[in-house]
């Protein structure tokens, strides 16, 4: 208040603007839901099960200080600093899946045989910045 009395022309503080810079980025890197059914891809003639499949995906900005909160290697920090201080043609770290879970699929083969198979890395379960 003293500042304002002494020189009324000083810019009035917009507190909400001021605090905005401390909030976590709204669209920070995180896992997003996505669910499809094999009939949408017209694969339900030969994929018997499951009927629906949720591969999920990662999207969002990587915060400046990724640290091990995202399970990121040290290189991510290096890349971020290069982008910020040395050369902004180097892209910022990207938000990508870090861990997956498998999917069991039951399919019909062209010769009429049927196969049950468990595939690795078919559902994203965790994101990271790299």
Partner 1 sequence: EAVSERTPELLLIPEDESPVLPPVLLLPPGVRNGYALLPPLLKVLSDQRPHSWEGESPRLQPDSRALRYMKRLYKMSATKEGIPKANKSHLYNTVWLLTPCAECKHHPKDQIKEDLHSVDLLFNLDRVTALEHLLKSVLLYSFDRSVFSSSAITCTCHVAVKENDPSGQVCPNVLQPITFNLHFEIRRHKWIEIDVTSFLQPLIASNKRSIHIAVNFTCLKDDQHHNSNLGNSFNMALVPPSLLLYLNDTSEQAYRRWHRRKNPVWSRWRNNPLADSLEEMGTENMQYKRASRHRR
Binding residues for partner 1, rule: CB under 8 A, are: 19, 21-22, 41-43, 45-50, 52-54, 64-65, 67-68, 71-74, 77-78, 80-81, 98, 101-121, 123, 128
- Tally of residues, the chain: 130
Smallest distance from partner 1 to CB 46, Å: 6
Q: Which residues pair with 58 in a beta bridge?
A: 31
Compare residues 7 and 23 and give the one whose CB is closer to partner 1. Answer: 23
Smallest distance from partner 1 to CB 114, Å: 4
Compare residues 10 and 108 and give the one whose CB is closer to partner 1. Answer: 108
Is residue 39 within 8 A of residue 33, CB to CB? The reply is no
Smallest distance from partner 1 to CB 30, Å: 17
- List of residues 6+ apart from 90 with CB closer than 8 A: 79, 82, 83
Smallest distance from partner 1 to CB 23, Å: 9
Compare residues 9 and 113 and give the one whose CB is closer to partner 1. Answer: 113
Query: From the CB of residue 59, how many other CB atoms can be counted at a distance below 10 Å?
Result: 14
Compare residues 9 and 26 and give the one whose CB is closer to partner 1. Answer: 26
Give the span between the Cα atoms of 82 and 62, in whole angstroms: 14
Give the span between the Cα atoms of 4 and 59, in whole angstroms: 44
């Amino acid at each position: 208040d003293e500042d304002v009395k002494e020189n009324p022309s000083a810019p009035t503080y917009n507190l909400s603007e001021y605090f905005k810079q401390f909030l976590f980025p709204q669209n920070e890197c995180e896992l997003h839901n996505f669910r499809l059914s094999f009939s949408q891809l017209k694969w339900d003639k030969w994929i018997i099960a499951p009927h629906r499949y949720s591969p999920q995906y990662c999207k969002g900005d990587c915060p400046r200080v990724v640290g091990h909160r995202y399970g990121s290697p040290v290189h991510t920090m290096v890349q971020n600093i290069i982008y910020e201080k040395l050369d902004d043609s180097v892209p910022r770290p990207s938000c990508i899946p870090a861990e997956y879970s498998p999917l069991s699929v039951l399919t019909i083969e062209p010769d009429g045989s049927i196969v049950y198979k468990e595939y690795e890395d078919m559902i994203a379960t965790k994101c990271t910045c790299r």
